[in-house]
């Protein structure tokens, strides 16, 4: 058996390279999927109910060189090398000095008392990461431009021209290699997160009740929950429509009841806290093997478009606690730093620097970042279990 | 003068009070006309089973064939197997069902394949691995019930065990493996002389005496303790069987020849050394099989979270799979894929070494069933659905070969069930929870 202490998933949850996905849906019209309704929708279901299973759930990244003109965020060893005088850089870059170089850069990942920059990121002082420089991002207007509880922050404009987009998670994470990738197409996170939804680990379902019209309906109940059932898939791994799923009834149970409305084929929900499953297997015996982790979207809301082919497509937005964004490498521990080269401490510091939501009552500082996830769901039969047994219902 | 070549006609006598038989060398005449049974005894030519493991999966789009059935297409990473494709099955699209258990990176996949269960504990296996079950069926009358080897070092690198946190440790040194196989205790099956080892006789008699105490102890303890004792005494019974084997004159075997000793050499995770160690271990294993020293084996080329490096480099295979971004235009990670090429070259060496040994009209590979697999599909994301798997050899005609089988998302436990059935284990269902299955892979069973 292999040691798990050095294993980690290199994904960092948040926004990611879904530009390719958008292009596939609406070629040549990036961003329009979010804003426009579909004129060719079928009549609403007779019983007013529609079920869906979420096939895509990943942060949307707007590709293009203007976003990260200085390149992607350096890995730990690249950052270490860049911190050295030129002559020393040249010496360590020699093949025969690789063992010394490895020893030295990996030493930057550990600290006194058996600490490391991923397990205890708040105990290390690291430079802030490169951030997205482009004014364009996908996302929702979470503060409606008014600020309120939000801290001062820059806002983006969507590719479709919508202003006031809040997405500080993308600002911070959008230049990491994991999100942006190296080929101008997509980052690893786009495909990496998919497995969790295909395996039943994070699989999500949506159940819409009380639909009277796709044109206008002010009262739609939306159940947004996890299911332990695996979606059946075709040979290419695409989920098959029409499968049955039952809302999870074992802890930790996540069943969010949202109040929604439909306007011209666009479903939106009122802000509330949305919690969804996110577990990680890495981390060894050091912790709870990821069972402590989850997705939390404070003031979370959905904006989804009904498609003529039956799909629901759009965004989930909200404010995510800063640490939650790096929980995968944090659970991975030192292996995330020395195996995948992730600077968890730098990431957390940058996330907190750009945090724009959920003020700490004592310090007055924001502790969460505005965030968005691209959501694509396909028709399914959803068996709701409103009453939890032995688990906390939400 | 007519010569009776049955083993029962061998000379018998006493040596220091011990029974002694003296046989005659093996000739082709020992095999029947079909080469499928020992002519002298009528016992079938041994059928062997083994596993071959590699860590960190593949680049799926460059490995899995597109076309199920015979004559499958060979993608770039499978191209090295072309000369043996007609003797190799590819198994794809079988899934690991976790039933709420976490996907423990580099661990859950291999354990699920071997045990039909989702792993919930940090170490060991969640149940008995099917190679052990098969060993109980076919490996009880050989000197070694099974051989475990790890070409990249680390005796703990193993996926074989009876569960409960125990693993059968791997031999890591080819030199040590040689000594174990052909050093003290080895009885050349083709030698004219056979003298039972007095030390072995003494050990067996000690165990016989212990047997009485064992039965008394089992009667004295409660059910829980009896369960604990059972696993221990299973090992003791294996030892008894093996001692019995060592006191029996071995069956002459056509292909068996004793190899020259193997010198000590570095054991580490440098790919260049691992390739050499693997080749040496393979050669020794092949002869151990030909000499019927064992009928079950487990070869670990590398470990799950592969520690492989290139000489002079500290960058591991594992590190590259996580650090190197996936190139969406290429569809793979170029640097990490270097190790995949070396791994599949080694796999081909392994298969060809078995296929070089002739046993009557068949080869040793034909009389063996080798199950090769990894622990992830695509290592960067730790995916455990569609883990790459292969079988090589036809288990003496019990398995069809040259096929790509699309599992269509069914539980990976179907593979373990099928392999056990092919090897004669009396089992009609296997695995737990969502991986409980009674559906074997009919396509490959002859």
Question: Mapped to the 3 state alphabet, what secondary structure does B143-209 carry?
Answer: CECCEEEECCCCCCCCCCCCECCECCCCECCHHHHHHHHHCCCCCCCCCCCCCCCHHHHHHHHHHHH
B370 in contact with A, Cβ within 8 Å: no
Please give, rounded to a whole number of angstroms, the shortest distance from the CA of B315 to a CA of chain A: 8
pLDDT value at position A34? 42
Token pair, residue A80, equals 């270490």
pLDDT digits (tens, 9 = 90+) for B11-60: 333 444 444 333 322 333 445 555 566 655 666 789 999 999 999 999 99
At A274, is the secondary structure helix, strand, or coil?
A: strand
B325 shares contact with chain A (CB less than 8 Å): yes
Q: Please indicate whether, in this complex, the C-beta atoms of B312 and A96 are within 8 angstroms of each other.
A: yes
User: Which among B123, B312, B382 has CB closest to A9?
Assistant: B382
- pLDDT, residue A234, reads 84
Would the pLDDT of B240 be above 80? no
- Tell me which range, A8-22, A241-255, B66-80, is most confidently predicted by mean pLDDT: B66-80
Residue of A nearest to B385 (CA): A199
Burial of residue B203, with CB atoms counted within 10 A of its CB: 0-12 exposed, 13-18 middle, 19 or more buried: middle
Contact call for A284 and B122, based on CB within 8 A: yes
For residue B144, give how far its alpha carbon lies from the nearest alpha carbon of chain A (Å): 22
Nearest Cβ partner for A339 among B99, B318, B381: B318
Q: Which of B329, B357, B300 is nearest to B147 (CA)?
A: B300
CB contacts under 8 A, A 331-360 vs B, are 338-341
The answer for A 10-39 residues in CB contact with B (under 8 A) is 10-11, 20
ipTM for the whole complex: 0.76
Instruction: Give the span between the Cα atoms of B215 and A253, in whole angstroms.
Output: 50
Residue B254 tokens read as 């056509």
Name residue, tokens 């960092």.
Answer: A12
Chain-chain contact of A201 with B383 (C-beta, under 8 angstroms): no
For residue A285, give the nearest of B122, B303, B319 by CB distance.
B122
As given in the structure block, the two tokens for residue A325 are: 């964004």
Lowest mean pLDDT: which of A46-55, B100-109, B352-361? B100-109
* Residues paired with A166 in a beta bridge: A140
Q: What is the mean pLDDT of residues B398-407?
A: 97
Residue-wise pLDDT for B123-152, tens only, equals: 779 999 999 999 999 998 899 999 999 999
Reduced to 3 states (helix: H, G, I; strand: E, B; else coil), residue A141 is coil
Name the helix (H) or strand (E) containing A327.
helix A327-332
Inter-chain contact A185–B328, Cβ cutoff 8 Å? yes
The mean pLDDT of chain B is: 85
| A2 with B159: Cβ contact below 8 A | no
Residue contact A235–B108, C-beta within 8 A: no
The three-state (H, E, C) secondary structure of chain B, written as one string: CCCCCCHHHCEEEEECCEEEEECCCCCHHHECCCCCEECCCCCECCCEEEEEECCCECCHHHCCCCCCEECCCCCHHHHHHHHHHHHEEEEEEEECCCCCCCCCCCCHHHHHHHHCCCCCCCCCCCCCCHHHHHHHHHCCCCCECCEEEECCCCCCCCCCCCECCECCCCECCHHHHHHHHHCCCCCCCCCCCCCCCHHHHHHHHHHHHHHHHHHHHHHHCCHHHHHHHHHHHHHHHHHHHHHHHHCCCCCCCCCCCCCCCCCCCCCCCEHHHHHHHHHHHHHHHHHHHHCCCECEEEEECCCCCCCCECCCCCCCHHHHHHHCCCECCCCECHHHHHHHHHHHHHHHHHHHHHHCCEECCEECCCCEEEEEECCCCEHHHCCCCCCCEEEECCHHHCECCCEEEEEEEEECHHHHHHHHHHCCCCCCCECCHHHCECCCCCCCEC
Q: Do B102 and A289 touch (CB under 8 A)?
A: yes
Chain A residues close to B301, C-beta within 8 Å? none
Q: For residues A59 and A14, is the Cβ–Cβ distance under 8 A?
A: yes
Residue whose entry in the numeric block shows the structure tokens 């006309």:
B33
Q: Containing domain of residue A275, as a range?
A: 51-70+116-384
d(CA A141, CA A146): 10
Asked whether residue A124 is assigned to any structural domain, the reply reads yes
| Residues across chain A | 394
- Interchain CB distance below 8 Å, A1 and B157: yes
Give the contacts of B293 (CB within 8 A, at least 6 positions apart).
B142, B143, B144, B181, B186
Whether B93 contacts chain A with CB within 8 A: yes
Which of A288-292, B187-191, B369-373 is modeled with the greatest confidence?
A: B369-373
Residue B36 confidence (pLDDT): 63
CA distance A63 to chain B (A): 13
Q: Which helix (H) or strand (E) holds A294?
A: strand A294-306
Q: Give residue-wise pLDDT tens across range A90-112.
A: 999 998 999 999 999 999 999 99
Per-residue pLDDT at B184: 82
Chain B: closest CA distance from residue A353 (Å) = 26
Residue A52, pLDDT above cutoff 60: yes
- Kindly determine whether residue B304 and residue A291, on different chains, have CB atoms separated by under 8 Å: no
Q: Examine the pLDDT at A24 and tell me if it is beyond 60.
A: no
For the ranges A282-286, B118-122, B226-230, B378-382, the maximum mean pLDDT occurs at B378-382
Task: Write out the two tokens for A303.
Answer: 């904006």
Quick one: fold of B45-184+254-435?
Alkaline Phosphatase, subunit A (3.40.720)
Could you tell me which of B57, B59, B88, B321 has the C-alpha nearest to residue A10? B321
Which tokens belong to B101? Answer: 């258990």
Q: With cut-offs at 50, 70 and 90, classify the pLDDT of residue A2.
A: very low
Q: Give A47's contacts (C-beta < 8 A, 6+ positions apart).
A: none
Q: A39 lies in a domain?
A: no
Q: Which of A3, A75, A99 has the CB atom closest to B305's CB atom?
A: A3
A101 inside domain: no
Query: A99 touching B, CB under 8 A?
Result: yes
Q: Which of A159-168, B11-20, B222-231 has the lowest mean pLDDT?
A: B11-20
Q: What is the mean pLDDT of residues A176-191?
A: 89
> Mean of the pLDDT values across residues B356-365?
93
**Rounded Cα–Cα distance for residues A190 and A179 (Å):** 8
Cis peptide before A252 (omega within 30 of 0): yes
pLDDT at B6 over 60: no
B126 vs B433: CA distance, rounded Å: 13
The confidence score (pLDDT) of residue A292 equals 61
Q: Is B66 on the interface with A (CB under 8 A)?
A: no
Residue B102 CB partners (closer than 8 Å, separation 6+): A201, A279, A280, A281, A289, A290, A291, B108
Q: Which residue has the higher pLDDT, A114 or B393?
A: B393
- Residue A158, classed as helix, strand or coil, is coil
Beta bridge partners of A53: A205, A378
Specify if A108 maps to a domain.
no
- Whether residue B391 contacts residue B422, with contact meaning beta carbons closer than 8 Å, is answered with no
Over the stretch A351-379, which tens digit does the pLDDT of each residue have?
999 999 999 999 999 999 999 999 999 99
A280–B314 C-beta distance less than 8 A: no
Per DSSP, A112 falls in state G
Q: Looking at the complex, does the CB of residue B323 fall below 8 Å from at least one CB of chain A? A: yes
| Residue A318 β-bridge partners | A371
Please name the residue that has the structure tokens 């789009």. Answer: B61
Looking at the complex, does the CB of residue A249 fall below 8 Å from at least one CB of chain B? no
pLDDT over 60 at B322, yes or no: yes
Q: Is B409 an interface residue toward A (CB < 8 Å)?
A: yes
Taking only the tens place, the pLDDT of each residue in A189-207 is: 888 888 889 888 899 999 9
Phi, psi of B374 (to 5 degrees): -110, -170
State whether residue B166 sits within 8 Å of chain A by CB: no
Nearest to A290 among B102, B108, B319 (CB): B102
- The alpha carbon torsion through B373, B351, B316, A2 (nearest 10 deg) reads 40
Q: Nearest by CB to B100, which of A7, A228, A280?
A: A228
Phi, psi of B73 (to 5 degrees): -75, 145
On chain B, the residues whose CB falls within 8 A of the CB of A99 are: 314
pLDDT at A21 over 80: no
Q: Which of B416, B418, B421, B353 is nearest to B387 (CA)?
A: B416
Instruction: Give the SS3 label for residue A110.
Output: strand
Do A357 and A319 meet the contact criterion of CB atoms below 8 Å apart? Answer: yes
pLDDT tens digits, A296-316? 999 999 999 999 999 999 999
Task: State yes or no: pLDDT of B403 exceeds 90.
Answer: yes
Average pLDDT on A278-282 reads 76
Under DSSP, the state recorded for A351 is H
Interface of A with B in 108-127 (CB under 8 A): none
pTM over 0.90: no
Instruction: Determine, for residues A182 and B327 on separate chains, whether the beta-carbon distance falls below 8 Å.
Output: yes
- pLDDT-derived band at A282 (thresholds 50, 70, 90) equals low
**The tokens 């006194």 sit on which residue?**
A112
CA neighbor of B296 nearest in space, from B283, B308, B285:
B285
pLDDT given at position A33: 41
CB of B383 less than 8 A from some CB of A: yes
Domain boundaries, chain B: 1-44, 45-184+254-435, 198-246
CA atoms of B219 and B177, how far apart (whole Å) = 39
B contacts of A11 (beta carbons < 8 Å): 381
User: Residue A186 has what pLDDT?
Assistant: 85
Where is average pLDDT lowest: A336-340, B40-44, B182-186, B430-434? B40-44
Tracing tokens 């002298």 back to the chain, one arrives at B40
The reply to whether A129 falls in a domain is yes
* Helices B271-290 and B174-182, packing angle to 10 deg: 10
- Report residue B257's pLDDT band, with 50, 70 and 90 as the boundaries: confident
Average pLDDT of the residues in B166-195 = 87
Rounded to an integer, what distance in angstroms lies between the CA atom of residue B418 and that of residue A322? 48
Query: How many structural domains comprise chain A?
Result: 1
Minimal Cβ distance to B325: which of A102, A182, A195: A182
- Quick one: average pLDDT of A205-234? 95
Place of tokens 């799950």: B304
Q: Is B98 on the interface with A (CB under 8 A)?
A: yes
Would an 8 Å CB–CB cutoff place A9 in contact with chain B? yes
Residues 6+ apart with CB under 8 A from A252: A277, A291, A294, A391, A392
Nearest to A98 among B55, B314, B382 (CB): B314
Residue in chain B closest to A179 (alpha carbons) equals B325
- Which pairing describes strands A244-246 and B362-363: parallel, antiparallel, or unpaired? unpaired
pLDDT surpasses 80 at A383: yes
Check if B397 contacts A (Cβ < 8 Å). no
**CA distance to partner chain B, nearest, from residue A181 (Å):** 6
CB B344 within 8 A of CB B82: no
Please indicate whether, in this complex, the C-beta atoms of B322 and A339 are within 8 angstroms of each other: yes
Rounded distance between C-alpha atoms, residue B155 and residue A386, angstroms:
51
DSSP letter (8 states) at residue A284 = G
What percent of chain B shows pLDDT beyond 70?
83
Interchain contact, A228 vs B122, CB within 8 Å:
no
Distance CA B403, CA A218 (A): 57
pLDDT mean over A38-60: 89
Q: How far is CA B75 from the centre of its chain?
A: 26
Asked if residue B148 lies in contact with residue B168, where contact means CB atoms within 8 angstroms, the answer is yes
- Do residues A167 and A15 lie in contact, with contact meaning Cβ atoms separated by under 8 Å? yes
Residue A183, SS3?
A: coil
Residue A23's H or E segment, with its range, is helix A19-25
pLDDT surpasses 50 at B254: yes
């Amino acid at each position: 058996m292999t040691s798990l202490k050095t294993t980690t998933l290199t994904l960092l949850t948040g926004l990611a390279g879904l530009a390719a996905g958008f292009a596939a849906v609406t070629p040549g019209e990036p961003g329009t999927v979010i804003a426009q309704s579909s004129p060719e929708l079928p009549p609403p279901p007779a019983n007013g109910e529609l079920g869906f299973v979420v096939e895509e759930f990943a942060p949307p990244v707007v590709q293009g060189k203007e976003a990260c003109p200085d390149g992607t965020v350096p890995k730990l060893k690249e950052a270490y090398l860049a911190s050295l005088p030129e002559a020393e850089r040249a010496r360590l870059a020699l093949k025969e000095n690789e063992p010394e170089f490895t020893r030295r850069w990996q030493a930057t990942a550990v600290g006194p008392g058996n600490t490391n920059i991923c397990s205890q990121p708040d105990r290390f002082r690291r430079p802030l990461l490169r951030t997205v420089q482009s004014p364009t991002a996908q996302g929702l207007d979470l503060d409606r431009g008014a600020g309120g509880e939000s801290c001062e922050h820059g806002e983006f404009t969507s590719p479709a021209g919508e202003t006031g987009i809040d997405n500080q998670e993308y600002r911070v994470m959008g230049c990491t290699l994991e999100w942006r990738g190296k080929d101008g197409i997509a980052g690893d996170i786009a495909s990496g997160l998919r497995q969790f939804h295909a395996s039943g680990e994070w699989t999500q379902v949506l159940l819409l009740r009380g639909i009277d019209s796709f044109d206008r309906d002010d009262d739609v109940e939306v159940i947004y929950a996890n299911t332990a059932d695996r979606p059946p898939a075709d040979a290419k791994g695409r989920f098959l429509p029409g499968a049955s799923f039952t809302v999870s009834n074992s802890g930790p149970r996540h069943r969010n009841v949202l109040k929604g409305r439909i306007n011209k084929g666009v479903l939106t929900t009122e802000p509330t806290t949305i919690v969804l499953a996110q577990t990680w297997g890495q981390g060894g015996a050091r912790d709870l093997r990821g069972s402590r982790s989850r997705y939390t979207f404070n003031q979370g809301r959905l904006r989804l478009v009904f498609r003529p082919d039956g799909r629901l497509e759009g965004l989930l937005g909200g404010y995510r606690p800063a640490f939650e964004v790096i929980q995968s490498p944090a659970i991975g521990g030192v292996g995330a730093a020395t195996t995948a080269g992730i600077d968890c401490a730098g990431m957390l510091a940058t996330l907190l620097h750009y945090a724009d939501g959920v003020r700490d009552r004592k310090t007055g500082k924001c502790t969460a970042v505005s965030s968005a996830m691209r959501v694509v769901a396909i028709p399914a039969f959803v068996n709701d279990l409103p009453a939890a047994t032995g688990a906390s219902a939400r | 003068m007519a010569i009776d070549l049955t083993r029962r006609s061998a000379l018998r006598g006493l040596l220091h009070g011990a029974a002694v038989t003296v046989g005659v060398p093996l000739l082709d005449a020992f095999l029947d006309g079909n080469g499928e049974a020992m002519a002298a005894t009528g016992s079938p030519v041994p059928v062997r089973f083994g596993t071959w493991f590699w860590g960190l999966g593949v680049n799926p789009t460059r490995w899995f064939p597109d076309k199920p059935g015979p004559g499958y297409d060979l993608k770039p990473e499978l191209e090295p197997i072309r000369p043996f494709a007609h003797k190799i099955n590819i198994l794809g699209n079988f899934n690991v069902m976790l039933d709420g258990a976490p996907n423990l990176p580099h661990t859950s996949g291999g354990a699920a394949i071997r045990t039909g269960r989702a792993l919930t504990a940090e170490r060991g296996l969640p149940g008995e691995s099917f190679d052990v079950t098969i060993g109980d069926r076919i490996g009880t009358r050989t000197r070694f019930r099974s051989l475990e080897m790890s070409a990249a070092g680390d005796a703990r690198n193993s996926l074989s065990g009876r569960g409960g946190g125990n693993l059968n440790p791997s031999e890591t040194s080819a030199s040590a493996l040689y000594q174990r196989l052909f050093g003290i205790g080895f009885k050349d099956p083709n030698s004219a002389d056979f003298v039972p080892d007095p030390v072995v006789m003494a050990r067996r008699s000690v165990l016989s005496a212990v047997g009485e105490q064992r039965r008394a102890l089992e009667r004295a303890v409660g059910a829980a303790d009896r369960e604990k004792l059972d696993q221990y005494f299973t090992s003791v019974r294996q030892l008894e069987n093996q001692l019995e084997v060592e006191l029996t004159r071995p069956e002459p075997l056509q292909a068996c020849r004793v190899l020259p000793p193997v010198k000590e050499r570095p054991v580490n995770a440098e790919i260049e050394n691992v390739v050499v160690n693997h080749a040496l271990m393979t050669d020794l294993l092949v002869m151990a099989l030909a000499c019927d020293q064992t009928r079950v084996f487990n070869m670990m080329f590398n470990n799950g979270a592969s520690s492989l490096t290139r000489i002079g480099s500290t960058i591991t295979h594992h590190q590259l799979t996580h650090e190197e971004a996936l190139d969406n235009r290429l569809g793979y990670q170029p640097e990490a894929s270097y190790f995949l090429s070396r791994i599949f070259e080694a796999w081909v060496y392994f298969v060809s070494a078995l296929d070089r040994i002739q046993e009557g009209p068949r080869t040793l590979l034909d009389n063996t069933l080798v199950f090769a697999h990894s622990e992830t599909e695509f290592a960067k994301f730790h995916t455990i659905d569609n883990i790459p798997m292969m079988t090589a050899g036809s288990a003496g005609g019990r398995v069809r070969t040259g096929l790509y089988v699309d599992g269509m998302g069914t539980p990976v436990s179907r593979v373990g069930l099928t392999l056990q059935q092919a090897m004669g284990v009396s089992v009609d269902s296997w695995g737990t929870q969502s991986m409980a299955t009674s559906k074997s892979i009919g396509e490959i069973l002859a």
